[in-house]
Amino acid sequence: MHRSAPRLSRILACAAVPVMLVVAGCSSDSDDAKSSGASASPSAKKSEPTVEAAKFASLPDACASIGKKTIEDLVPKTKNKGGTPGKSSDTTSRGGCSWNGLDDNGVKGSQYRWLDVGFTRFESDQSLGSGAKRATAEYTKQVAKAQATEDAKKLSAEPVTGLGEQATSVTYGLKKSDEDFEYATIVTRTENVVVTLTYNGAGFAGAKSPSAADILKGAKKAAEEAVSAVGGDGDKSSVSPSAKASSSSSSKESDTSSSGAGSSPSPKTGAKSSSKAVAKS
Predicted confidence (pLDDT) per residue in 141-185, tens digit:
999 999 999 999 999 999 999 999 999 999 999 998 889 999 999
Number of folded domains that form the chain: 1
Tell me which of 18 and 153 has the higher pLDDT.
Answer: 153
The whole-number pLDDT of residue 25 equals 46
Q: 68: which residues sit within 8 A by CB, 6+ positions away?
A: 81
In a domain, 189, yes or no: yes
Cα separation, 222 vs 228, in Å, equals 10
Write the CATH number for 176: 3.40.1000
In 3D space, the residue among 231, 22, 196, 26 whose CA is nearest the CA of residue 116 turns out to be 196
In a domain, 25, yes or no: no
In a domain, 181, yes or no: yes
In a domain, 57, yes or no: no
Residue 197 has pLDDT above 90, yes or no: yes
In a domain, 174, yes or no: yes
**pLDDT tens digits, 38-59:** 454 555 456 667 889 999 999 9
In a domain, 152, yes or no: yes
Largest CA distance in the chain: 142
Q: Length of the chain, please?
A: 281
Which range marks the domain in which residue 136 is found? 62-86+108-233
In a domain, 130, yes or no: yes
In 3D space, the residue among 171, 200, 227 whose CA is nearest the CA of residue 99 turns out to be 200
In 3D space, the residue among 117, 139, 118, 119 whose CA is nearest the CA of residue 70 turns out to be 117
In a domain, 272, yes or no: no
Grade residue 263 by pLDDT with cuts at 50, 70 and 90.
Answer: very low
What's the 3-state SS for the chain? Answer: CCCHHHHHHHHHHHHHHHHHHHHHHHHHHHHHHHHHHHCCCHHHCCCCCCCCCCCECCCCCHHHCCCHHHHHHHCCCECCCCCEECCCCCCCCEEEEEEEEEEECHHHCEEEEEEEEEEEECCCECCCECHHHHHHHHHHHHHHHHHCCCCCEEEEEEECCCCCCEEEEEEEEEEECCEEEEEEEEEEEECCEEEEEEEEEEEECCCCCCCHHHHHHHHHHHHHHHHHHHCHHHCHHHECHHHHHHHHHHHHHHHHHCCCCCCCCCCCCCCCCCCCCCCCC
